[in-house]
Amino acid sequence: MEKYIIRSNKKVSLKDFSPTYTGKLEKEDIQEKYLKLQEKFITLQEVFNASKKFSLLIILQGMDCSGKDGTVKKALAGVNPNGFVVQSFKQPTPEELGHDYLWRAHKATPLKGNITVFNRSYYEDVLVTRVHKMIDDPTAAARYKEITEFEKYLVGNGTIVLKFFLHISKEFQQEKLLNRLETPEKHWKFSMADLNERKFWDKYQDCYADVLSNCSAEEAPWYVIPADHRWFRDYIILQNIVTTLENLKLEFPEINEIIAQLIEEVKEST
């Protein structure tokens, strides 16, 4: 994953990352490995949930059509819904606006043993708000520091934070928007807001670059994932998650004396 990771204090330009990159791999090259990764993930998630030593927060950010929903559906296919939550953040409610901007995200972070995916996240508060000039640059800079400290706080309290920026090209987004319009069963996915936001493509690219530059700490680095090829996106993200869980070296909890005694009583009762 070294190729995709953003090191702290590194000035980022998205022009340095290719959204079409696949490392000369073809989809057929990784199919067997991908299936094995899915099997590993299912097993590792069961142990992760049973041990309840850590929680895992996966953050997915990207332009419209970058595949946030698809990543959850495909890369995390087969996951046990017990201990797995997907949280989407829409326009803030009046209650949420009455609190600080991190409040609604903090209360949605995962319990020990759980995996939570943020489909968009608190980073919208330094992206959409900045693109549309709802906050100024000094406010954005202050929020970068607050977000970084917030993530360090989560990590310090046992939450692993994995952050993936799904990097697509403007041409790829256009193709996907046209596909939504030309395919009747995908009309429901289309929104005029997608076209309106597309007008701000360059500004979003600049703001994302600032987020990656300022909010990638050693405790919770950003990964820039080439996402024009869906299969490669899913493979790289799943590989990262599986490696992260494997490195924890968790085991199922040992049976305690009370349970052992109950087992013997059940055996004797038969």
How far apart, in whole angstroms, are the C-alpha atoms of residue 151 and residue 214?
A: 13
How far apart, in whole angstroms, are the C-alpha atoms of residue 244 and residue 14?
A: 25
How far apart, in whole angstroms, are the C-alpha atoms of residue 76 and residue 140?
A: 32
Per the listing, tokens 């290719």 go with 18
How far apart, in whole angstroms, are the C-alpha atoms of residue 161 and residue 144?
A: 16
Per the listing, tokens 């701000």 go with 200
How confident is residue 16, by pLDDT bands cut at 50, 70 and 90? very high
How far apart, in whole angstroms, are the C-alpha atoms of residue 185 and residue 213?
A: 39
Least confident of 10-14, 179-183, 189-193: 189-193
Which stretches within 117-229 are classed as H helix?
128-131, 137-156, 170-182, 192-198, 201-214
**Mean pLDDT over each residue of the chain, to the nearest integer:** 93
In the chain, what are the domains?
5-269 (3.40.50.300)
pLDDT tens digits, 76-127: 888 888 899 999 988 889 999 999 999 999 999 999 999 999 999 999 999 9
3-state secondary structure of 124: helix
pLDDT at residue 13, as a whole number: 94
pLDDT at residue 238, as a whole number: 97
